[in-house]
Amino acid sequence: MTTINEAESNPDAEPAKDTKPGFRKLLSSLGNRKTAYMLLFGFASGLPYTLLLSTLYAWMSDAEVDLETMGVFSLIGLAFAFKFLWSPLLDRIDIPGIKRLGHRKQWIVTAQFSLAVILVIVSRLDPGSAIGMMSLLAGIGAFASATQDVVMDAWRVDVADEVATIDILSTVYQLGWRSAVLVGGALALFMAERLGWPTVYAILGATMGLVALAAIFAPEPDQTVASIAADDESLRVLRDAGQLSPKVRGWALAIVGVLWAWALVTVGVFMVRSLSSDPDARPDSVEFIQNMGPVIVIATVVVPVIIAAVLENWRRKGRYVLAAAAPKKGSLDGFVDQGYRALILPLAEFVGRLGWAVIIVLTLVLSYRFTDTVWGSFAYPFYLGELNYTKDEVAVASKFFGVGALMAGIALGGALFSFIGRMAVLFLGALTAALSNLLYADLALGGYTMQAVSNFTGFTMLVEWLGGDARLAKLMVAIAGENLAGGLAGAALVAYLSSITAKGYSAVQYALLSSLTFLIGTLGRGALGQMIDEQGYYPVFILTTLLGFVAVVACIVEWIRVRRLGKGAGMVAPV
């Protein structure tokens, strides 16, 4: 466990203190300039993701592009799945000529202007005759979009303060992201019917350009990793007496470096093979993500975290440490020190700050979104195949009404942060996310409870008045309940992850932690798919409900730890 002295000696970590909750705190946070930019950045994150990974398929369908070619486009999603692989570079490298904007803003503005240009160029292309160029631009755009996501996550952690709290910033970021999904999805489809796809992409590309212009004036964190990178003292300390010996650090860096290099090569080779092969010879992208995705995350996240924990334990116990200062002897020593600080030190700081509590934190992170990530693959087969709803009915219930419920859940989470605190919202999100699986379990048995709720509340009459029927109403009630819980849980998790990362290491730490949230769900899809084939959907929903309580228990344990830490430090914990 982290001692109180250790907690107090880490000023870069999110403080445990919290001001008195209430409307005044909420209104003050919402009126802050940083909060406004966080909403804008959330929109800037969701818009290219939607346009490149969702709406573009509708344009290609209108252009009668074959399904096999469309399938290759799913490869650009790998940029988002493995964006943590280049996050250390974003923490350490400045862009010549524009670094005066600030270490975070230089990357945000560059990525957003790049996306604006790419979307405008895409608007001038024809998917039927220029699919190769469109694929290349979409891939570059996905890389730029994933890059801005990494940096904006770090920006959120770095600029948070007692007014623009990490909880409110996390909430408005997600609201901005979901707003972009509506604009880039539903609104784009509506506009395309009247203006055509080229005009739609040109307009939204220009919108990204306006966002990039506005980002130039966003506040830059007072202390970013740029100041750390420019400080030679931080490197010199690594060779002071009591620090790990350069040889041990070198071996640790070699192991982690090989694992990360293997991951980059593996992803790169797969993408080249897929994009350059004939349709019959292309590897299966879904199979690659499901089979190799977890292996890559384990190799590049889990194993390095274990190595960092071992190194921190050795350093504290005085094993393999320098008895006297050891100056650098050449460029190789300097390279090892730089690499160690970029790749391993963020993990060592995280493990060293939390101590044994890192087990609790990782358990919570791994289990918290399990029900969401594992369910996503089976949602449409359940709606369309098992329940026999039409595509139009699913679109209305899931994409329009469901997104509204999701945004309501996010907003509810943001409001609750100011009244009951972060850990209480985190617990409530885990509990409701687990229990929401019972709504689908009821649908699997006929949806009698959902129908009764819909009838009792008058929702059925409303849906019928709008042109639907009772059967659609009960689906909408179930989706609303699940999405409301999912929005609440999502807001809570983003705020929690942001609160446990340290300023100065935020890009690497947040990118690694967020990747872990999808690990267990990805691993579990195959087994649950087999279970559905053999036993049907109802037992699966009961099982996922029970598994969701792993996160509930982890939240309770972490809540207790945070309260004790806050009281021991003489502060009020954000509970």
Q: What is the tens place of the pLDDT at every residue in 177-201?
A: 988 988 888 788 788 888 999 999 9
**Rounded Cα–Cα distance for residues 369 and 366 (Å):** 7
What does the pLDDT read at residue 74?
Answer: 61
What does the pLDDT read at residue 515?
Answer: 75
Average pLDDT of 46-54? 88
- Backbone phi, psi, residue 130, to 5°: -130, 40
**Mean of the per-residue pLDDT values of the chain:** 81
Name the nearest CA neighbour of 224 among 159, 128, 168, 315: 159
Q: Which domains does the chain have, with CATH numbers?
A: 32-230 (1.20.1250.20), 231-265+295-353 (no CATH), 356-568 (1.20.1250.20)
Indicate the range of 223-227, 230-234, 500-504, 571-575 predicted with least confidence. 571-575
For residue range 300-318, what is the model confidence (pLDDT) as tens digits? Answer: 878 888 898 899 889 888 8
More confident residue, 9 or 290: 290
DSSP 8-state symbol, 446: T
Average pLDDT of 201-224? 88
Contact between residue 171 and residue 491 where contact means Cβ atoms under 8 Å apart: yes
What does the pLDDT read at residue 222?
Answer: 67
Name the nearest CA neighbour of 395 among 144, 58, 120, 160: 58
For residue range 452-487, what is the model confidence (pLDDT) as tens digits? Answer: 999 999 999 999 998 889 999 999 999 999 999 989
- Joined tokens for residue 100: 């005066």
Contact between residue 82 and residue 147 where contact means Cβ atoms under 8 Å apart: no
What does the pLDDT read at residue 46?
Answer: 92
Q: How many CB atoms lie within 10 A of CB 400?
A: 14
What does the pLDDT read at residue 376?
Answer: 64
Indicate the range of 67-76, 393-402, 405-414, 518-527 predicted with least confidence. 67-76
3-class SS string, 127-191: CCCCHHHHHHHHHHHHHHHHHHHHHHHHHHHHHCCCCCCHHHHHHHHHHHHHHHHHHHHHHHHHH
Q: What percent of the chain has pLDDT over 90?
A: 27
For residue range 10-23, what is the model confidence (pLDDT) as tens digits? Answer: 334 443 444 445 55
**Rounded Cα–Cα distance for residues 258 and 299 (Å):** 10
pLDDT at position 574 over 70:
no
pLDDT at position 281 over 70:
no
pLDDT at position 229 over 50:
no
Name the pLDDT band for 230 (thresholds 50, 70, 90).
Answer: very low
Name the pLDDT band for 71 (thresholds 50, 70, 90).
Answer: low
Name the pLDDT band for 346 (thresholds 50, 70, 90).
Answer: confident
What does the pLDDT read at residue 478?
Answer: 93
What does the pLDDT read at residue 20?
Answer: 45
What does the pLDDT read at residue 523?
Answer: 62
What does the pLDDT read at residue 522?
Answer: 61
For residue range 128-164, what is the model confidence (pLDDT) as tens digits? Answer: 778 778 878 888 898 899 999 999 988 988 888 777 7
The model's pTM is 0.75
What does the pLDDT read at residue 41?
Answer: 95
pLDDT at position 210 over 90:
yes
What does the pLDDT read at residue 378?
Answer: 73
Compute the half-sphere exposure of residue 16: CA atoms within 13 Å on the CB side of its CA.
25
Average pLDDT of 42-68? 82
pLDDT at position 284 over 80:
no
For residue range 245-275, what is the model confidence (pLDDT) as tens digits? Answer: 888 999 999 999 899 889 878 877 776 676 5
**Rounded Cα–Cα distance for residues 366 and 493 (Å):** 11
Q: What percent of the chain has pLDDT over 70?
A: 82
